[in-house]
Amino acid sequence: MITTTGIPTDLQQIADKVKAGQRINDEDCLLLFEKASLGFVGRLANEIKERLHGNKVFFNRNFHIEPTNVCVFSCNFCSYSRLYAHREEGWELSIDQMLHMVKKYDGKPITEVHIVGGVHPKMDLPFFADLLKAIKTHRPELHIKAFTAVEYDYMFRKAKVSAEEGLKFLIAAGLDSIPGGGAEIFHPEIREKICADKVDADGWLNIHETAHKLGLHSNATMLYGHIEKYEHRIDHMRRLRELQDKTKGFNTFIPLKFRNKDNDMSNVPESTHIEDMKMYAIARIYLDNFPHLKAYWPMLGRQNAQLTLSFGVDDIDGTIDDTTKIYSMAGAEELNPSMTTAELITLIKQARRIPIERDTLYNEIRSFEGIKIEANPELN
């Protein structure tokens, strides 16, 4: 049936749920993927976003450290890592080298360092604890968001400690929160094909649940646009939504677009920009208990990240400062990912949104509403 507004009845019922602040179910979500137009889901997602955050869009001032791209795992979608057996093709940073990277930002208003990389057998739990201690000794106020659940799973198993014991050890060394990488697609049917040898969905979720119980916040991701089906995306988001109901520990959800350059899945075509926007919008609609939805601009490109701000996204990450190679090596549109604070603010303002600088935990630091940014050296 078609309603008087020209919208199919089943879609109108979903819209009515969203407008009433009610949760949609898996069948509703599948219907949105299969039948809803981009404009339809975009309007609903934007309504939710504005209900939560008004016209605000968040960003932070951050940089990345990638300790190594040498990895014991061989994920088919990965263009970044170099197997440990061929580590001459990769890089391995010492603690002193990484601390030097931190010192480059002395005197600058950076609030976060994001540390993720390959799973290197010599970079174990004590090594990374020493790294965190060195960073905190040098710059105690710097928030350390570090290591994916894949990295944690390996270092904890190697150290023969539980997730709780390992996380407590790293918290004592200076760990402040956890990024959301390594989630990929939870469903075993897909995970077996794209990343069979690393931590499974239950292991990933257990590490994040343990972190939340210990007082750490974390993020969550999903790698979409490859061999998965809509049902697999929904299964993934449902597991995240259920854990968030339980712990309230996730800050943001980050859909990550599969890029097909120089990896074992180069034959798989990438998703279209329309599909990307629809993915963001539906994620915002389905994940009703996630406070934030982030578009990672180095992966999407600046213009596409800006476009997501009309499809439920309220955060576009941070300045990055050319310190991440994970997506540029996979063919992302940002080959040298770096934006000044002024450029980020301009990008947000061009979308007629209010730029809000935040810290890692989404405490607001400064609003740039009505502030002229031209020739302002403070914002470089």
The per-residue pLDDT for range 227-282, each reduced to its tens digit, is 999 999 999 999 999 999 999 999 999 999 988 776 667 778 888 999 999 999 99
b/e burial code for range 262-301 (CB count within 10 A of at least 16 → b): ebebeebeebeeeebbbbbbbbbbbbbebbbbbbbbbbbb
Instruction: Give the chain's domain count.
Output: 1
Mean pLDDT for the chain overall: 88
Distance CA 144, CA 360 (A): 9
First CA to last CA distance, the chain: 55
Residue 98 resides in a domain: yes
d(CA 329, CA 222): 19
250: containing domain: 48-368
Which of 30-39, 86-95, 196-205, 332-341 has maximum average pLDDT? 30-39
pLDDT value, residue 228: 95
Phi-psi region of 275 (alpha: psi -120 to 50; beta: other; left: phi over 0): alpha
C-alpha 344/C-alpha 52 separation (Å) is 21
The CATH number of whichever domain residue 329 belongs to comes to 3.20.20.70
Are 243 and 209 spatial neighbours (Cβ–Cβ below 8 Å)? yes
Closest CA relative to residue 142, chosen from 150, 152, 133: 133
Rounded to the nearest 10 degrees, how much is the dihedral formed by the CA atoms of 307, 310, 314, 316? 0
- As given in the structure block, the two tokens for residue 77 are 């979608």
Q: Worst-scoring range by mean pLDDT, 13-22, 64-73, 135-144, 289-298?
A: 64-73
Q: Tell whether 21 is covered by a domain.
A: no
Q: Does residue 39 belong to any structural domain of this protein?
A: no
pLDDT of residue 122: 80
Is 29 within a domain? Answer: no
Examine residue 9 and state whether it is found in any structural domain, yes or no. no
The confidence score (pLDDT) of residue 332 equals: 43
126-168 pLDDT, tens digit each: 999 999 999 999 999 999 999 999 999 999 999 999 999 999 9
Q: How confident is the model at residue 339 (pLDDT cuts 50, 70, 90)?
A: confident
What is the average per-residue pLDDT within 103-119? 92
Phi/psi of residue 315, each to 5°? -150, 135
Q: How many whole angstroms separate alpha carbon 346 and alpha carbon 61?
A: 15
Q: Is 239 part of any domain?
A: yes
Question: Is 315 within a domain?
Answer: yes
Does the residue 295 lie in any domain? yes
